[in-house]
Amino acid sequence: MLKIGLIGCGFMGAMHANCYKVLPDVEITAVADIRREKAEEIAAGTNATIYGDGMDLIAQADVDIIDICLPTFLHAEYALAAMDKVKYLFVEKPVTLTVAESEQLLKKQAETGCQVQIGQVIRFWDEYVALRNILAEGKYGKVVNANFRRISPTPEWGWQDWLRNPTLSGGAAQDLHIHDVDYVLSVFGEPANLYSVRNTLSEEKSYVNTLLSYDDFAVSVEGTWGLPATHPFQATFRVVFENAVVENDGGKFMLYTADSAEEIAIEKKELATAAAGGNISDLGGYYNELLYFTTCAANGKPVEQATLSDGAASLKFLLTKELAFNA
Ligand SMILES: NC(=O)c1ccc[n+]([C@@H]2O[C@H](COP(=O)([O-])OP(=O)(O)OC[C@H]3O[C@@H](n4cnc5c(N)ncnc54)[C@H](O)[C@@H]3O)[C@@H](O)[C@H]2O)c1
């Protein structure tokens, strides 16, 4: 049984806890949050020891894995300390606030050998995994064009409203848009050229559109969290191949060919235990990414997906190429 120490029990900490509660052979044995009531909510029904500051958990808890779900501006400090403590560390995305900080983490990894996974969860989301496989198979011919879109109302849940403070979160462009940027880099690699426009009317209304050009096709990536609260969150993509279109409109996942329009089946996973209601599919890519991570840890295997260097490379691309384009 792997012992998990979870630091940060807000929105994402609660999501991770729900996953750990249904994952096989893992147990949350320590939780930390400076808002005690948040830690207590997650510890309820477990034997987890509750800590206040995450540094106390790192110093005192007997754990195999540390999972950091802290606000982004705290990732570097806590990840550096955690890498001295455990062999397996999970850090939510974006890896850090700055490129210099992610380079510090890479240096620490070289010293400690700690296996680190970053929460670039789109790499594990069923539709995006299916698209990766379709691209690898190449059975629909060459890519003609691709579009990825992630648009959202402004997030209002953050502790002390840290998310809406760009000096603490990087703003929408860094916090939300990095999901698609990371995925696009993971399947298409670095583009030959890019053109990016960011509407900076106000930080809150920040809207990014980037066109990445490859050999003979372009990928457009669009992101914002400047929509009114009445607008639904939407994460969509469309990839046009020579002989088919693969489209995820956020509701249906479709394959269009010359002869047919059919839904692409995604296997629904049944609940592993009766610990939590609902279907594991409700936990989406979060379950998949933590299943991968904990399986690596249980078997003493290296983390090879959504690695620290992947997360650092995506952050560097976003900050030094894409967002710097019109700076
Ligand atoms: N992968 C995704 O889809 C996704 C979605 C949302 C957020 N995130 C990322 O997850 C991370 C956390 O975001 P969130 O939305 O959960 O934020 P949040 O504000 O809801 O939660 C952060 C928690 O950290 C606690 N905290 C602050 N300082 C602490 C300290 N020193 N020690 C212990 N606890 C402390 C706060 O009390 C709060 O409960 C961020 O990096 C964010 O970008 C990822």
Is 50 exceeded by the pLDDT of residue 275? no
Q: Would you state the structure tokens that stand for residue 34, as one six-digit string? A: 């400076």
pLDDT tens-digit readout, 89-111: 999 999 999 999 999 999 999 99
Q: What is the largest CA-CA distance in the chain?
A: 62
- Minimum-distance ligand 1 atom for the alpha carbon of 175: 43
Q: What is the pLDDT of residue 116?
A: 98
Burial letters 62-90, b for 16+ CB under 10 A, else e = ebbbbbbbbbbbbbbbbbbbbbebbebbb
Q: What is the pLDDT of residue 119?
A: 98
- Minimum-distance ligand 1 atom for the alpha carbon of 38: 39
Residues 271 and 278: their CA atoms lie apart, in Å, by 7
Lowest mean pLDDT across 78-92, 149-163, 299-313 = 149-163
pTM: 0.96
The finding on whether 117 has its CB within 6 A of some atom of ligand 1 is: no
pLDDT tens-digit readout, 223-234: 999 999 999 999
For the segment 142-158, the average pLDDT, to the nearest whole number, is 95
Cα(160) to ligand 1 centroid in Å equals 11
210: which strand partners? Answer: 196, 221
Q: What percent of the chain has pLDDT over 70?
A: 95
Is 80 exceeded by the pLDDT of residue 277? no
Lowest mean pLDDT across 21-25, 26-30, 253-257 = 21-25
- Minimum-distance ligand 1 atom for the alpha carbon of 169: 43
pLDDT band at 71 (very low <50, low <70, confident <90, very high): very high
The finding on whether 152 has its CB within 6 A of some atom of ligand 1 is: no
Is 50 exceeded by the pLDDT of residue 272? no
- Minimum-distance ligand 1 atom for the alpha carbon of 39: 39
pLDDT band at 273 (very low <50, low <70, confident <90, very high): very low
Residues 253 and 140: their CA atoms lie apart, in Å, by 16
Question: Which of 38, 43, 37, 41 has the alpha carbon at shortest distance from 4?
Answer: 43
The finding on whether 72 has its CB within 6 A of some atom of ligand 1 is: yes
The finding on whether 9 has its CB within 6 A of some atom of ligand 1 is: yes
> Where in the chain are the domains?
2-118+286-307, 123-266
For the segment 289-297, the average pLDDT, to the nearest whole number, is 97
Q: What is the pLDDT of residue 1?
A: 94
Q: What is the pLDDT of residue 47?
A: 92
Type of residue found at 233: F
Superfamily of 123-266 according to CATH: Dihydrodipicolinate Reductase; domain 2 (3.30.360.10)
DSSP 122-163: GGGSHHHHHHHHHHHH-TT-SEEEEEEEEEEEPP--SGGGGG
Is 70 exceeded by the pLDDT of residue 278? no
For the segment 22-27, the average pLDDT, to the nearest whole number, is 93
32: left (phi over 0), alpha (psi -120 to 50) or beta: beta
For the segment 182-203, the average pLDDT, to the nearest whole number, is 91
DSSP 256-322: E-SS-EEEPP-PPPPPSSSSSSS-GGGGHHHHHHHHHHHHHHHTTPPP-SSBHHHHHHHHHIIIIII
Q: What is the mean pLDDT of the chain?
A: 93
For the segment 24-44, the average pLDDT, to the nearest whole number, is 97
Helices (H), 25-147: 36-43, 54-60, 75-83, 99-112, 126-137
CATH number of the 2-118+286-307 domain: 3.40.50.720
Is 90 exceeded by the pLDDT of residue 112? yes
The finding on whether 5 has its CB within 6 A of some atom of ligand 1 is: no
Residues 171 and 224: their CA atoms lie apart, in Å, by 9
pLDDT tens-digit readout, 195-231: 999 887 777 788 999 999 999 999 999 999 999 999 9
